[in-house]
Amino acid sequence: MAAPSEALPTGTLGKVRPHPSQNEALLFEKSSPGKRAYKLPALDVPAVNAPELLQDVYRTQPALLPELSEIEIVRHFTRLSTWNYSIDAGMYPLGSCTMKYNPRVNELVARTEGLAEAHPYRPESLAQGALQVIELLQNCLTEITGMDAVTLQPAAGAHGEFTGILLVRAWHESQGNPRKKILIPDSAHGTNPATAAICGYQVENLKSNPLGGIDLEALTRQVTEDTAALMLTNPSTIGVFESDIHRVAEILHAKGALLYMDGANMNALVGKVRPGDFGVDVMHLNLHKTFSTPHGGGGPGSGPVACKAFLEPFLPTPVLVRRTGTEGLGTREGSSTTNMAAPGASHLGTWESKDSTSLHWNYNRPHSVGRVRAFYGNTGVLIRALAYILANGPDGLRQTTEDAVLNANYIRARLQDIYELPYKTASMHEVVFSDKRQAARGVKTGDIAKRLIDYGFHPYTVSFPMIVPGALMIEPTESESLEELDLFIEAMRSIAREAEETPDLVKSAPHSTRIRRLDEVRAARSPHLRWKPQA
């Protein structure tokens, strides 16, 4: 572990927001035998010898846990919380990631008694409330995207990509030819080629034109009868809307290929245009980016997939439906009933009649790609997304989109005189600069990002997209006020001046953090952990 920061250098740091500098020890280093943060009352039942009673499962040695007082624990975690950057503390200009503010009303609704404990796989008579939430959210997303059907089952954006490409493959197979390759633009998210490869396709790169969009001539040459789909992000990762999107769809469809849209940047389109109206066949959404749910971070996320009607039969099971009349549908997988719903589908259970107004899970989907996860989405995340949509309403969602685009273009207009703008095409929700001017003084995008920490801002997205050498990818989202944007712009302009006048100051940043700049390569290859348990 590196030493705490040295004294701050002189210069423009008077404008820097200070960070705490106390060097917090590890809990294991604070630990002393016999310390306790609690005291239990005397037993009011006979004592038992747990190790003797549970010989097969009881520890033979006590767990190696730190022993601390209550105040030590409270202070430790309180201090750590003050060092953690969060959206409550400041702006996240992370391009592509779309780190927008999550309104507290989302949390309030998700924790409402009844909704908080709701599970969509409870017996249907008890699950109607949760199912209505799911149905309403699906209907909202269908309308917003201009598609015909939605599944909320995928757990994240990349998982949604995987599900969407499975639909593409299943449809082509139903036509007698699964096809061999998927086209992916050079500006795509890295998950796109990974998804295509996992689904068994060859990945073929598609070069962008000088404006950062799809090169229609290259697309026409590369689309063949072996092309299954084009995976297109729109707006692209350089924040450019594909103005020729209708022509792109026509070229693909003429060869029997499909248009898949990575909906990661849908927050620049909501309420303005609908992908289903400009030729998209299937797409995924990132609820955390567009509809203000918490980022997954390895935990709960959501990546719904929307598709046109011809792909609906292939959606993952189960599919939520409203029964009309006395129509019967297969019951839950794993039913112990042996009366079959369809030949060769013993897992479907019995057919049964239900109230015509109730919602049900349909497992009888012979063309489905199957389940893509254990449960039907993360219910708490779905509730949060619906709360956000309903709180804004159609006009509010449109205004949100307009504000996001306005904020990005405001930053672009205020910084393009000092940072290189490689693509002059109109920006949507994010703007991508390069470090070309600063690199002439030896200052790279990573240096600028680390210096930005000294000014109290989370760094922007560094070195992505890769079609922009030394990229500075900035997305303010609609969350930020004019005052916060001006602070960020002032910081970026100040750093640009430092890069010209005192480049070593920028190249050695950050200076105001507890830990100075790390040797990142060495840290990754030779991690040093201070505490080791005693044998």
Following DSSP, what letter does each residue of 466-479 receive, concatenated? TTSTTEEEE---TT
Peptide bond into 476 cis (omega under 30): no
Assess contact for 434 and 471: CB atoms under 8 A. Answer: yes
Smallest Cα–Cα separation from 409: which of 424, 422, 427, 432?
427
What's the CATH architecture for 394-524? Answer: Alpha-Beta Complex (3.90)
pLDDT of amino acid 530: 67
- Name the class of domain 109-380: alpha beta
pLDDT digits (tens, 9 = 90+) for 100-112: 999 999 999 999 9
Residue at 193: amino acid letter: P
Residue at 43: amino acid letter: L
The domain segmentation of the chain, as residue ranges, is 109-380, 394-524
> pLDDT grade, residue 81 (50/70/90)?
confident
pLDDT digits (tens, 9 = 90+) for 27-62: 988 899 999 888 889 999 988 877 676 777 777 777
Tell me: pLDDT of 212 over 60.
yes
pLDDT digits (tens, 9 = 90+) for 250-283: 999 999 999 999 999 999 999 999 999 999 999 9
Tell me: pLDDT of 342 over 80.
no
Alpha-carbon span 431 to 416, nearest angstrom = 10
pLDDT digits (tens, 9 = 90+) for 426-477: 999 999 999 999 999 999 999 999 999 999 999 999 999 989 999 999 999 9
pLDDT of amino acid 299: 60
Query: Higher pLDDT residue, 350 or 472?
Result: 472
Alpha-carbon span 158 to 198, nearest angstrom = 11
Q: State how far the alpha carbon of 421 is from the alpha carbons of 225, 472, 474, in Å.
A: 38, 10, 12
> pLDDT grade, residue 534 (50/70/90)?
low
String of DSSP letters for 473-514 = EE---TT--HHHHHHHHHHHHHHHHHHHH-HHHHHT---SSS
- Ramachandran category for residue 325: left, alpha or beta (phi over 0 → left; psi -120 to 50 → alpha): left
Assess contact for 318 and 153: CB atoms under 8 A. Answer: no
Q: How many CB atoms lie within 10 A of CB 95?
A: 26
pLDDT of amino acid 3: 36
pLDDT digits (tens, 9 = 90+) for 292-340: 998 865 567 899 999 999 999 999 999 999 976 544 444 444 333 222 2
Assess contact for 200 and 393: CB atoms under 8 A. Answer: no
- Ramachandran category for residue 62: left, alpha or beta (phi over 0 → left; psi -120 to 50 → alpha): beta
User: Which residues are CB-contacts of 77 (< 8 A; sequence separation ≥ 6)?
Assistant: none
The structure's pTM equals 0.84
Lowest mean pLDDT among 380-389, 438-447, 451-460, 520-529: 520-529
Tell me: pLDDT of 214 over 90.
yes
pLDDT of amino acid 324: 66
pLDDT of amino acid 532: 60
Lowest mean pLDDT among 30-34, 206-210, 519-523: 519-523
